[in-house]
Amino acid sequence: MQYKNKATSTHPAFVVFLIDISASMNEKMPDGRTRIRVVESFLYETIQSMSHRSTNQNVFKPRYKVSLLAYSELFWNVWTKPIDEIMVDDIPEFETQTATDPANAFRAAKLVIEDEISTWSDYYLEKCPAPMVIHITDAELTEEFEDPTIAAKELMSVQVPDGKVLVNNIFISRYIKPPKQSVKKWPGYFPEDTTGDPFGDILLRISSPVPVPYILECKTKEIGLLPGSVFLFPGINNDFIRAGFVMSEGTEELPRPTVPEPRLQRGLNGNN
């Protein structure tokens, strides 16, 4: 399992955004915006980038299928759509809820991915990239709920010919030990590391190893991840959060597109 398959219009990559919308996501970031508003801004930016990457010589050829999921103590399957069907109004302004139950969310995400894979033809199954889950959370787990490790490992055990499901965690927290380097030079977290926070260390244990093709692609995106690192990004500022979201775009297949008229209009300031 080498994670060599590329996303194309004939076999798009399946990307799942799993977003924590618990009450603690209302805490403010250094720029004064709440965590959930920052996450929404980067979700818009990433969907628009996926749209641009699906455009080759001004011809739109969708190379992604996206599932948007949200959770608190409950779980919401917001929608699953090909990238060419996602419009600005499809991305909601989330209302934060109450407690945080990531174990239930990981189990639900596993079912969503298994349902999607069950619809794939043999050709599609053979050629598609392994699905990726982008999990965005402040990891402030509610004590009454179970440790999410087992549920996350079960999700990570789902596999297609290209490899097992990749779980990429973006940890937005003021408790995390900040990296000393910029994202361009940061080597990433390694399995033996600590984040400086017990909840962050749980996320570290349930973050997939970064496959070699993704490491190589990082060099073109000015992200300094090294071989042996895992998919865990410290959400301490815009640069690190953006790097975590960029991983959803996978490795390059099409040449850099000419930029079309934007399909989505909301940017990092959250304005229409």
H runs (alpha helix) in 99-159: 102-117, 122-127, 149-156
Q: What local confidence, expressed as pLDDT, does residue 74 receive?
A: 94
Does 23 reside within a domain?
yes
Of the two residues 243 and 258, the one the predictor is more confident about is 243
How high is the pLDDT of residue 255? Answer: 41
**What predicted TM-score, i.e. pTM, was given to this entire model?**
0.90
Report if residue 227 sits inside a domain: no
Q: Give me the pLDDT at residue 56, please.
A: 77
pLDDT beyond 70 at 256: no
Over residues 201-216, the pLDDT tens digits come to: 999 999 999 999 999 9
269 Cα distance to chain centroid: 20
Domain count, the chain: 1
**Residue 212 covered by a domain:** no
Q: Is the pLDDT of residue 18 over 60?
A: yes
Boundaries of domain holding 144: 13-178+198-207+232-249
Q: What are phi and psi of 227, to 5 degrees?
A: -55, 140
Does residue 54 carry a pLDDT above 80?
yes
Task: Encode pLDDT of 90-115 as tens digits.
Answer: 999 999 999 999 999 999 999 999 99
Q: CB-based contacts of 115: which residues, under 8 Å, 6+ apart?
A: none
Give dist(CA 193, CA 142) in Å, integer.
Answer: 24
Span 177-207, pLDDT tens digits: 889 999 999 999 999 999 999 999 999 999 9
- CATH value at residue 168: 3.40.50.410
